[in-house]
Amino acid sequence: MLQHRGPEVYMDLGYDIFRTLEDGTPLWIKQVATVDDGKRHLDDLVRAAPAEYFIRDASTGEIIFRLGAVPPA
């Protein structure tokens, strides 16, 4: 989907879900269309496999939501 922000036009790439591994490396899990879809999926992931997870805006690269415990270093 194309979106307009001021004079810029870019494609909405959705959101990526990642798990933070014990060494701090992000592990890509899946892509979702909306933040709400991502948050619902994170809830399920944290219950099934406790860890830190986050949602990244694929268009900007910005981490927009985190959930779960930070794994020990």
3-41 tens-digit pLDDT: 555 555 556 789 999 999 999 999 999 999 999 999 999
Domain hosting 44: range is: 2-67
In a domain, 52, yes or no: yes
- Residue 28 amino acid letter: W
In a domain, 6, yes or no: yes
In a domain, 72, yes or no: no
Q: How remote is the C-alpha of 1 from its chain's centroid?
A: 19
pTM for the predicted model, two decimal places = 0.79
- Residue 67 amino acid letter: L
Domains in the chain: how many in total?
Answer: 1
9 burial type by CB count under 10 A (0-12 exposed, 13-18 middle, 19+ buried)? exposed
- Determine the pLDDT at residue 10: 58
What's the DSSP call for residue 72? P
What's the DSSP call for residue 2? E
Element spanning 48, H or E: helix 35-48
